């Protein structure tokens, strides 16, 4: 039965235009990352994670915070305006604004934010990661940034599900 499904799916994709294939690819990448993010959220002690991240931000030098936040802002700026306004997301957010935003989160709000991230933003970020990985490998460097982080998130989620929870990743592991 699965073989028949695979053959039919492959046949159907052969008849899809390149534009439709690209749309399917973007949706697939976006949905996959959203599912991973939701699994992680569902299996994580959010209050403990918030506390750890707030402490890490408080201890972080301003220059390091600005650099790290700039990377996150590339994703945040594509959220619907409602979330940008609600969480006061600006290009030059202060550490205190970030802490206040983190404090206001709960699992329901996190799920809403995950759902609001456009699939195109996720797919573009993933493509950027793949390009940088290829460039790093071409220059003889090992780069496991995004995929390494996804691997850590997935392992943490599985550990939480199995009841073997380890310490949640904080901002220092999220690159």
Between these two residues, 4 and 39, which has the higher pLDDT value? 39
Question: How does residue 175 score in pLDDT terms, banded at 50, 70 and 90?
Answer: very low
- Interior angle at CA 33, CA 23 and CA 71, nearest 5: 100
Cα–Cα dist 72/66, whole Å: 10
Question: How does residue 166 score in pLDDT terms, banded at 50, 70 and 90?
Answer: very low
pLDDT reported for residue 61? 94
Kindly tell me the number of DSSP H helices and DSSP E strands found in the chain: 9, 0
Per-residue pLDDT at 173 exceeds 60: no
Tokens standing for residue 14: 């052969």
pLDDT tens digits, 99-153 = 999 999 999 999 999 999 999 988 888 888 788 877 777 777 665 555 565 666 5
pLDDT tens digits, 6-49 = 555 666 666 778 888 888 889 999 999 999 999 999 999 999 99
């Amino acid at each position: 039965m699965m073989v028949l499904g695979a053959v039919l799916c492959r046949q159907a994709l052969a008849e899809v235009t390149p534009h439709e294939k690209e749309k399917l690819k973007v949706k697939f990448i976006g949905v996959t990352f959203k599912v991973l993010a939701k699994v992680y959220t569902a299996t994580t002690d959010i209050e403990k994670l918030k506390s750890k991240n707030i402490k890490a931000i408080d201890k972080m030098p301003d220059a390091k915070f600005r650099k790290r936040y700039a990377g996150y802002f590339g994703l945040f700026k594509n959220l619907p305006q409602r979330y940008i306004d609600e969480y006061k997301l600006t290009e030059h957010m202060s550490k205190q604004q970030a802490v206040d935003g983190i404090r206001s989160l709960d699992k329901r709000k996190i799920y809403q934010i995950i759902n609001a991230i456009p699939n195109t933003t996720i797919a573009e970020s993933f493509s950027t990661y793949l390009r940088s990985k290829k460039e790093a490998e071409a220059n003889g460097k090992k780069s496991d940034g995004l995929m390494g982080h996804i691997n850590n998130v997935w392992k943490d989620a599985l550990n939480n599900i199995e009841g073997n929870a380890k310490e949640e990743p904080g901002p220092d592991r999220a690159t």
